[in-house]
Chain A
């Protein structure tokens, strides 16, 4: 036996075997690698699609059921009862709602940040609270949509020898209004009230006006902490481009010049002045006065808000200016008539216009108007609850236009944009 094992087989069989084995190993590892790559690519592709579908589905659900996740809430939604979870985290961004949604499979996570506006199914074009006065129409007035009007109703008025020359006074149903406007939801402005007093959230990243020179801010993602640019007194925004998750706050006055490019930004101050020819898409929150100059174009989603704590609120819209989004004027004072919205010739407001006060109407409103009265001053007289050549047209805005809603909860949410 021992002899047998000591006996040698002539030839280099082992060396041949090693070479063949090496070749086979190479081929085998090739197969294994290929298999692994195919598997990974396919699994990733299928899971990526499945996760995206989950997020799309959660979006659809949230849009139709806004109470599903309210601002400052985080919820895990099981869509199909098979542990296909989607996490939704909502917070408000001005008058809009910011929702971060995420879905994961093993180590693969997909996340989205989306801005939504509120949608109301109310077909009302005008809500004029009942102060025991007629609504008088003069000239070519157009009111397109349902109306809630004072008990005395609507009539053709007479002004400077002219009267109503339109086709129909109201193209829609007429209901009787209450003495006061339907209230806004307390939660609508609640998260932002402290910003007027320069009290910020613990998660905010505060940048002083002096730091801005050394560390300029331009674009901030909604997935990182909110950058608050804090001016101790007044500020003039010029030659600056701010985009995204940024809030500009000043104690006194903020003036926005045309060279400032603001997008998605919130602006808080006691008084906000938007100069002539400014364009952008931003939300303005003034505490006593908000003035928008001539030929300004505030694209969707832009909101002009004036909410007075102790004094009265006044918003002025200059000639040929446009605000697409919404306008809100309210105050805590009891003399609500002192709250004013002054519209100039050729101006256009699109979306919900809520004025807990009176409106000097000129131009057009493409959306719904809630107010306590109208006033019109001519060199000769002062007219109460008169509308001249006014256009309030709910149907001329695009279908399903999202703004803010009057009342507690929107009927639906409307997709505005996907954020970075």
Chain B
């Protein structure tokens, strides 16, 4: 019965099939690699949480000052620069940098009033 229905394929069909499979696999590998690369999103999320925590802490205390905090793999810091020469306003840059590669991961800039 099988012999009757599946008579076999031409070599062209087989080659086409193999090529399609290879193409599909290549695409999967590319996408998978990219997704894996983007797993530094996890690191980025860590950075976001750490930076936001620092922002909230300083806002709650109403005390804005330069800070450097080292975590397991990154350095969270805040720096102050005068805003357009205004003595009461400071631009506070909060940033997270990977310690190993010095690669910046996340940054927030806020203008705050500082007496």
Binding site for B on A (CB under 8 A): 4-18, 20-21, 24-25, 27-28, 31-32, 34-35, 38-39, 42, 45-46, 49-50, 53, 56-58, 60-61, 63-65, 79-80
Contacts and interface: CB of A to CB of B under 8 A. Distances in A.
Nearest to A54: B109
Contacts of A79: 109, 111
Given A60-B113, A79-B111, A13 B27 contact: no
16 contacts: A8-B9, A11-B8, A11-B9, A14-B17, A18-B17, A20-B21, A21-B20, A21-B24, A24-B21, A24-B24, A28-B27, A31-B28, A57-B110, A58-B111, A64-B88, A79-B109
Interface string B14-25: 101110110011
B18 A5 contact: no
A38 B9 contact: no
A17 B111 contact: no
A32 B30 CA distance: 10
A79 B27 CA distance: 43
- Chain A binding site: helix, strand, loop or mixed by DSSP? helix
A35 B27 contact: no
B113 A64 contact: yes
Interface string B82-112: 0100101101000000000000001011111
Which 7 residue pairs across A and B have the least CB separation, nearest first? Answer: A17-B17, A24-B24, A57-B111, A8-B8, A31-B31, A10-B8, A14-B9
Contact of A24 (B11, B28, B41): B28
Nearest to B39: A38
A9 B31 contact: no
Given A14-B14, A64-B86, A28 B21 contact: no
A160 B106 CA distance: 74
B35 interface: yes
B89 A64 contact: yes
Nearest to A39: B38
A18 B21 CA distance: 8
A178 B83 CA distance: 39
Contacts of A21: 17, 20-21, 24
A48 to B, nearest CB: 12
A60 B111 contact: yes
Interface residues of B, number: 38
B7 A8 contact: yes
A38 B31 CA distance: 13
A46 B110 CA distance: 14
Contact of A61 (B12, B28, B41, B111): B111
Contacts of A45: 48
A9 B9 contact: yes
B28 A28 contact: yes
Contacts of A17: 14, 16-18, 20-21
Contacts of A8: 7-10
A32 B32 CA distance: 9
A31 B32 contact: yes
A42 B43 CA distance: 12
A32 B17 CA distance: 23
A169 to B, nearest CB: 32
A14 B13 contact: yes
A38 B42 CA distance: 11
A42 B9 contact: no
Contacts of A80: 91, 109
Contacts of A20: 21, 24
A160 B20 CA distance: 109
A21 B11 CA distance: 18
A11 B9 CA distance: 7
A16 B8 CA distance: 12
Contacts of B16: 14, 17
Contacts of A63: 113
Contact of B6 (A12, A50, A53, A57): A12
A12 B3 CA distance: 11
Contacts of B6: 10-12, 15
A10 B9 CA distance: 6
Contacts of A53: 108-110
